Amino acid sequence: MPEEVDLPGLREVIAGPLHDIAGRFSRFLADRWPHRALVIFTRECTGRPRKVAGESETIGKVTIAELEHLKARVEPGRPLSTTAVLSGAIRPAWVLQDPIGTLLVLVPRSLRARFPDPAELADVFGVVATSIRQQVAQASPDYLAESRAASSERARTIAEMAAAQERTLVTMLTALRSTKLDDHRARLAATESASTALLALRSAQQADLAVSEEPAQAAFARLRREVRQLLRHHDAELEFAAPAKDVRPLAGEVAYAARAMTSTAVLAFMAQPTLKRLRIAWSCDDSALRLDIRDHGPGPLDAAALHLQLDGRAKTLRAAVDIDSVPGWGSRVTIGLPLDPPPDRSEATLLANLNRRELEVLQLVAQGQRNRTIAEALGITESTVKFHVAGVLKKLEVTSRGEASALALTAGITAPRRAAD
C-alpha cells in the first residue's frame, strides 16, 4: 500500500524561493526515491530552465540538448525508467514529464535500482511543476530577481566562452588553410572538424538565447490572448498597439514582468463600473520596454492600490511606474521596464560591507529559511533576525530577500560563517 504523502513537507518545497526548489524537492524525495542527482527542466523559467541538485559530476554539465532529447522520449504522464546521456555520460534515469511540459529527471543510486511508485511521484511532481509555472506566470519579485541575476551571468559566460572559442577555432582554420601545409588530406580533415566545431559553438549559443529570450511581438501576442480572456464577459472595446517588428528580443524576465504588470493594470481598470474602452500599447527602444494602458471614461482608478500591486515587480527590475487618473477625463498607466540589468556592482565589495553575523543570516536567507528558523539556527531572537535582515538589504543595496538571495548565490555564498555577535 502506498505511503501517505508528506503534505507539510511538500508545502515547504513549494513555499520557498524558486532558485532552491530543486534542492528542497530533492531532500523531500530522498527517502522514498533515493537518487544521486535531480534535474527539473522547464522552458517557461527563462532565467534557469535547468534546476539541479545533487552530485555536481552527474548534473554539473547537463545540457539543454540532452534534456530536450530525453523529453522527446517520454510521454506526458507516463514515467519511464531508462538510461540517458547526462553531462556527456550514459546514466540510469527515472524520468517523467508533467502534462504542462515540465520534465523531472532523477539519477538513481544504482543502475538496477527499482523505480518505486512512479505514479505517485508523478502526482507529487505535478504539484511542484504547477507551483513553478504559477510563480513564473505571475512574475513574482523573487522569480524576477533570480531570473535577472541568472540572465546576467549567463549572457556574460556565453559571450566570454564564445569569444575565446571562436578566436581559437578561427586561428586553427587560418593555419590549416595555409598553402604552406603539404599534407592536403590531413589539412582538409582538420579544416572540416574545426568548421563543424565552430558551427556547433554558434548553434549552442543561439539555442541558449532561444530559451532565455522572447521576441517582443510574440510576447505581446501572448498578452493580447490573456487580456481577451480576462475581458471575455466585459463589454469594453479593446485596442491593442504592438511593438515594432524590428525591436530587440526581450529577456525572459522582462517579458513575463511586462505581461504580469499589464494584466494587473487591466484588472484595475476593469474595477471601474463605467469602463467603455481600453487601449493597451507596448513600445520599445534600445534601453526600455514601455507599457501604456489607458481608458477613455469618467470612472476613477484606485491609483494607490495599483501602485501597491505593481511595487514589488517594479523595484526588482528598477521599473518606473506612473499612474495618472483624472475623474471625468480618464486614467493612464505607463511603465518603463529597463531591458538590461543595471551596470555590474561588485558583489565582493558589497558583501565586504557585511559583518560575520549578517553573512550567516544572508546564507540562511539564500536557503529560503524563514526568520523563526534562522533564529533557532543561530540562537538569537526573531526580532534580532529582522534587524540583521534589514541591515543586509541596506548594505547590499537591494529591496527584497529574493534579490539578496540571488546576489548571494551569484557570489557563491554556500555556507554560513559562525561567529559571535
Letter for the amino acid at 125?
F
Distance CA 138, CA 383 (A): 31
Is there a contact between 213 and 250 (Cβ–Cβ < 8 Å)?
Answer: yes
- Whose CA is closest to 318, among 412, 407, 254? 254
Q: Where are the alpha helices (DSSP H) in 248-338?
A: 252-270, 303-317
**Residue environment code for 317-340, b if the CB has 16+ CB neighbours within 10 A, otherwise e:** bebebebebeeeebbbbbbbbbbe
Contact present, 33 and 106 (Cβ < 8 Å): yes
Say if residues 284 and 243 touch (Cβ distance below 8 Å): yes
What the block records as the C-alpha cell of 147 is 531570473
Determine the length of the chain: 421
Question: Do 216 and 243 meet the contact criterion of CB atoms below 8 Å apart?
Answer: yes
C-alpha cell, 358: 549578517
Calculate the average pLDDT of the chain.
Answer: 80
The torsion of the CA quartet 389, 392, 393, 398, rounded to 10 degrees, works out to -140
pLDDT of 347 reads: 57
Provide the whole-model pTM.
0.51
Q: Which residues pair with 80 in a beta bridge?
A: 95
pLDDT tens for the chain, residues 1 to 421: 356 777 888 888 888 777 788 999 999 999 999 999 999 998 776 657 888 999 888 887 888 888 999 999 999 989 999 999 998 899 999 999 999 889 999 999 888 889 999 999 999 999 999 988 887 777 766 667 666 665 654 555 455 555 555 555 665 565 556 555 556 655 665 666 566 655 555 555 454 444 567 889 999 999 999 888 888 777 888 999 999 988 888 888 888 889 888 988 988 888 777 788 899 999 998 889 999 999 876 667 888 888 888 888 888 788 899 998 877 778 899 999 998 876 655 555 667 678 888 888 988 888 888 898 899 889 899 888 998 998 888 888 888 887 788 777 766 665 444 443 3
Q: Measure the CA–CA gap between 283 and 71, rounded to whole angstroms.
A: 36
DSSP label of 18 = G
d(CA 313, CA 317): 6
